[in-house]
Copies of this chain bind each other. A is one copy, B any other.
């Protein structure tokens, strides 16, 4: 294997990270807003945001004591659309894991 492209997918393969991505698809959000939207624990969200940021799936900007997270729509949005297409065409709306 040339590169570790599969690492990239570990983010999208995770329910929590995926939910975060879906939330940020609508608009940029602060950590607190993400927590409230998803009703998940603070440190859980922070940990997940960290790895998403490191892989440039999301980007952060500081705003006072808040941190606003924004989706990298350029590549992530088409990616999500592609799975939807795959699911529609080949999995009749859902794709089973096992």
Contacts and interface: CB of A to CB of B under 8 A. Distances in A.
Contacts of A90: 56, 72, 75
Q: Give the number of copies in the complex.
A: 2
Interface residues of A, number: 43
B51 A98 contact: yes
Given A6-B15, A18-B5, A82 B78 contact: yes
A54 B1 contact: no
B97 A7 contact: yes
A55 B97 contact: yes
B12 A9 contact: yes
A19 interface: yes
Nearest to A16: B6
